[in-house]
Structure formats: structure tokens, C-alpha cells
Amino acid sequence: MPRKPREIRTGGIYHVIQRGVEKRKIFLKNQDYSRFILGLELFNDVASMDIWQRFFQLKQGGTDPPWKKLEAVRKERAKKASRLVDLLAFVLMSNHIHLVMREIRKGGISLFMRKMGGYSTYFNKQHDRVGPLFQSRFKSVEVENDRQLRAIFAYVHTNPVELWEPGWKERKVRNVQEALRKLEEYRWSSYGDYVGKPTFSQTTQRTLFSDLFGGTQGCREAVKEWVKYKAARTPRDFGIALE
């Protein structure tokens, strides 16, 4: 039986979730996280340029360090870049990812996620495995109002609390300040870029959430309030679809 076509509208904002097949880990080392996030930045483009091939061409010549050659690829791409989506927020967990995206071109989210599927090839080569890495197709849920938009910002960015306090969503966090400190230090998320601790500032488009919360301090307060007062309730209480 054919799958029902996705209904993603241009201009809509979507919470996108993708898990490893059989809930397996899809990131095993720091390099894996970095490679995925670099893809979030460089593959958000209508062009089909093989960025990795271009990077390795540059790598073979000259004496510049790898970071400088990567910067050359970024500048080359920027001259003709045309984004598929606005990537508003993200977090990478060991066995799944959360992305918040606004579709700015028809079919942009689906094309972007297909491009990101190339991570599976990288992962399989790195870790000597074969077969699918992700569960079927990604899940997407439209964010329908400002209430949900505010909630999804905090929900996505507080996912890593589970690493330090398993089951925290069913009860109060034991040490709120410690959890907030660790969230700001968690590298594999867009949260640091929102609160003045840049990590991957070229990857996301942050104007919408920054304006919604009134800047850096407002973004920090939104996450703080979620951790302090809402951990004992489920995301459904705030209009967020559960996985």
C-alpha cells in the first residue's frame, strides 16, 4: 500500500524528528556529530554541488590547514547559495535528532532531508556497517500557533537534560541550575547560539525566535522556565506532538 504523501506547506514551520533504525545510536563519536551539523549548514542549498568532493580537491593542494580550506568552501557556496529551508533550531541526541524548520521553497524540507540522508553513507563507512541507519522516513508536525512555537523552542533545546537526569520529564529536576549550565555547554545544539555562546552560528537562521523572545536573555528565560516549572508535565500539555 503506497504511503500517504506529505502535506507540508510553503511558509509553514515544522518540528521534524528522525530516529535511528531500531532506536540504535546514530552518533558514536564527536566527529559524527560535527559531520552531521556541517551537513545541516552546507546542504541547505538548492544547488547540487558535491561539497565534499570540492573540499577534498582543496585538501589535496596547498599547505592551508583543513579549517581554512573548509572556509573556502563556505565562501564559494555563499556566492550562489539559495536556501531550501530556514533551520530555526536543532538538537542532536545519540539516537535521534530534532529540527525546527520553516519551509521557504516548495518541497524544500523533503529535499533537504534527502540530502541529509547522505550522512548514512558516511556513518556506515566510518563504522564498518551496512544497511539503513534511520527509521523509514522522518516525522514532521506543523507548529500551528505562537504558543506551540514558544514551547517547541524550549522542548527541543532541553532534550539533553535526559543525559544527566533520566526521566526528568516525569518529575522535577533535582538541580535546576546545574541542568541549565550543562545545557549551555552542550555542543550539539543551536541553544548556545541563542544565548551568546556561539557554536555553529552559520547553521541556523535565528531571527524568528530571537524576536519572539526578545533576544538572548528571553531565550534563556524560556528554557529556564520550562526546566523549572514544566518538567513534571508532558509535552502534550503544551500542544507538542509526542514521538
**pTM (two decimals):** 0.84
Please count the structural domains in the chain.
Answer: 1
Decide if pLDDT at 127 tops 90. Answer: yes
pLDDT at position 128 over 90: yes
- Is 8 domain-assigned? no
Q: Is residue 30 in a domain?
A: yes
Distance CA 200, CA 190 (A): 7
Look up the CATH number of the domain holding residue 22.
3.30.70.1290
Q: What pLDDT score does 1 carry?
A: 44
Residue 168 lies in a domain: yes
Domain that holds residue 38: 13-46+82-237
> Which is it for strands 85-92 and 96-103: parallel, antiparallel or unpaired?
antiparallel
Q: Provide the pLDDT for residue 170.
A: 73
Q: Is residue 121 part of a domain?
A: yes
Per-residue confidence (pLDDT) for residue 21, from 0 to 100: 94
- Span of 51-65, 149-163, 208-222 with lowest mean pLDDT: 51-65
Q: How far apart are CA 103 and CA 115, in angstroms?
A: 15
In a domain, 184, yes or no: yes
Whether 159 is covered by a domain: the verdict is yes
Cell of 149: 512555537
69 within a domain of the structure (yes/no): no
C-alpha span between 18 and 214 (Å, rounded): 30
Model confidence at 49: pLDDT above 60: no
In a domain, residue 6? The reply is: no
- What single letter denotes the amino acid at residue 151? A
Residue 234 banded pLDDT, cuts 50, 70, 90 = low
**Residue 177: closest CA among 193, 155, 161, 153:** 161
Instruction: Name residue 142's beta-bridge partners.
Output: 14
- The whole-number pLDDT of residue 76 equals 59
